[in-house]
Amino acid sequence: MKINFNSLMAKSLLCCGIITVFTGCRFEDEDYFDQPAAQRIETATEAIQQTLVSAPNGWVMQYFTGTDEIEGFNLFAKFEDSQKVTLAGNHKYLRDGNANKYTEYASLYEILKEDGPVLAFNTWNDILTPLVDPVDPSAAPGALVKDGEGMKGDHNLVVLSYGSDEVMLRGERHSARVRLIPCPGTWEEYIEATNKLKNYIANSTVTNYYVTNGTDTLYFKNLRNGTFTYCERVVDPLFPSTINCVFTPQGFRLHHQNGIGENETKFQEFTMAADSTCLVSENDSVKVIACWDDYIIDRTSVWNMDQAQFTTEQNRLFDQLDGAFKAYNANTSIAAIGIGRSSGSNAVTGLVITFYTNAAKTKTNTVGLSLSMTKLAYGQIAIVSTEEDDADRNMTTITGRSSELLPLARAFAATLNGTYEMTPDNYFLPTSATFNSVDGGKQFTLSSK
């Protein structure tokens, strides 16, 4: 049975006819309300104590301080009947040289019998206390913050509800939100699995995400930080709001519930979809999709075309382009043709030809011809090449001595004209993408390898 103290308040008021601060529970046992208030608190305290000590691997503490400006933390707790608790964590605010290192620390806890049960971590603990200390987190344990609030963590936590699969707590002073869930294995295994998932879905390659309910679409910007922006667009965000989260082995959980669209479709926790293309909310109503398509289109590096997919015309143009480079210098030859940003002066974004600059093929350079690449919708792009497209300085320099280079490059670029649906090899860490023709052009594949 899950005990919910929030709903007991209303029942207590109806039953007793008086105002009471005791938050309460939804008990299925009708005899529970035959007990005096003091006895009910005593009974609840004993039940909470038994719940806390019963988790065989202890608990994961998804701990959010009372401010949206700091990420959520995965702490770990193992409670004993003797009122000893062992906490663990690896957060960056650990002191004495332990920042970002897995650390355990034992201290005492108590379930206070106030107006309602309160879980109190009432002695110093290296894992929790830095989040509660009234010091500037950037200088801890140095200067006191003027208002004495620090990171607005709490060590006295009101029990809102409890059960064998979840305990919900709220800080007494700063309303820190804390959720306890049973740890499925060892604490270090949980940390390792969480870091692996985090590095997969929130890496340095793709940092922005679509948030959609199928009708409305907004964005998460810079999710990896744990404190990120929820906004209407990625570039120059409109109506940005700060949200923080805690990562899990399956995805991430937000500080509080949010909504999207006119009907405010609710979401709070996301887990990896079965096909690994996105993350889905609790009831599959909202998806978080990495902006992998922006990464492939708006890049600063070069992704090369798979030559095995060249058409007969593209193979012919490739050979002629290679001859144009050899006419410029006998030691040069084409290494690859791709799309991206050229490396020479007056660089352009578009068709990029990488060529070897020596006979040993150990050194390369590029020439570039601009292309119009327009994102039409999620995963859809239009490529247009015209005779007016700009060439970078390397292209014009070589063309001065090998006049066929620029016309041949324009001809090759024209073979790409069309509208394409893009499919990545990986929706969070793409290393290649297939461009499937929707209108014009032929299928081709780009690879970053």
Give pLDDT tens digits for 164-216. Answer: 999 999 999 999 999 999 999 999 999 999 999 999 999 888 889 999 999 99
Distance between CA atoms of residues 327 and 304, nearest Å: 23
Instruction: Name which residue leads in pLDDT, 23 or 45.
Output: 45
Q: Is the pLDDT at 449 greater than 80, yes or no? A: no
Q: Is the pLDDT at 8 greater than 50, yes or no? A: no
CB 365 within 8 A of CB 335: no
Mean pLDDT check: name the lowest of 220-224, 247-251, 336-340, 366-370: 220-224
What's the confidence (pLDDT) of residue 4? 66
CB 8 within 8 A of CB 24: yes
CA dihedral 386, 388, 389, 393 (to 10 degrees): 150
- Return mean pLDDT, the chain: 89
Q: Is the pLDDT at 17 greater than 60, yes or no? A: no
Average pLDDT over residues 426-434: 95
Tell me how crowded residue 184 is: count the other CB atoms within 10 A of its CB: 11
What's the confidence (pLDDT) of residue 441? 93
Strands of the 432-439 sheet, one edge to the other: 364-370, 349-356, 333-341, 302-305, 444-447, 432-439, 418-424, 380-384, 372-377
Distance between CA atoms of residues 328 and 402, nearest Å: 5
Distance between CA atoms of residues 86 and 265, nearest Å: 39
Mean pLDDT check: name the lowest of 115-119, 327-331, 395-399, 440-444: 115-119
Instruction: Reduce the DSSP state of residue 180 to 3 states and report it.
Output: strand
Average pLDDT over residues 80-94: 95
Tokens 């998460």 correspond to 220
pTM for the model stands at: 0.84
- DSSP secondary structure string, 11-67? HHHHHH-S---------S-GGGGGS-HHHHHHHHHHHHHHHHHH-TT-EEEEEE-S-
Instruction: Name which residue leads in pLDDT, 207 or 411.
Output: 411
Comparing CA positions, the residue from 388, 395, 394, 393 lying closest to residue 409 is 395
Distance between CA atoms of residues 22 and 13, nearest Å: 10
Give pLDDT tens digits for 95-141. Answer: 889 999 999 999 999 999 887 899 999 999 999 998 998 765 665 54
What's the confidence (pLDDT) of residue 1? 53
